[in-house]
Amino acid sequence: MTSLFFEWYFLEIPAQIKKIWGNYLWFFPRYFALADLGRDFLAPWKGLVFRREKNGLDFGDIFSALFGNAMSRILGAIMRSFFLIIGLGTELVAFAAGILAYAVWLVLIPAIFYCFWKGIALSL
């Protein structure tokens, strides 16, 4: 009976924790689309592209298109940076939570025995 408990406690449950932890680590990069955000980092925000409206050499029109496209790309980079930071932070929290889950699970049995013996010692 005790061998079944130790098999469950030290083999089955850590495997389940690893599986759940892996699911979270798989999910969050896809939820925040981290690969897409990194690939399209300098793309214009929401595809907003400014085109020249006049033919020929009109410096005001050229400057307007260049400035508008630069601002659209800068805004896109700022927003993508914000979401990349949130996504990577969430991934880091999920990683730390998995390590914490393993640590809590492994410390739980010694803590139960310690509390049991401490309770007996205090009751005597």
User: DSSP of 6-67, one letter per residue?
Assistant: HHIIIIIHHHHHHHHHHHHHHHHHHHTTHHHHHHTTTSPGGG------S-S--HHHHHHHHH
- Give me the amino acid identity at 37: L
Helix, coil or strand: residue 124: coil
Mean pLDDT for the chain overall: 90
Residue-wise pLDDT for 14-68, tens only, equals 999 999 999 999 999 999 999 999 999 999 888 888 888 778 777 888 888 889 8
Residue 49 to residues 3, 80, 86, 94, Cα–Cα distance (Å): 67, 17, 27, 37
Q: For position 25, what pLDDT does the model report? A: 95
- Give me the amino acid identity at 11: L
Q: For position 51, what pLDDT does the model report? A: 83
8 Å CB contact between 25 and 60 = no
Residue 1 has pLDDT above 80, yes or no: no
- Binned at pLDDT 50, 70 and 90, residue 83 comes out as very high
- Binned at pLDDT 50, 70 and 90, residue 10 comes out as confident
- Binned at pLDDT 50, 70 and 90, residue 75 comes out as very high
- The reply to whether the predicted model has a pTM over 0.85 is no
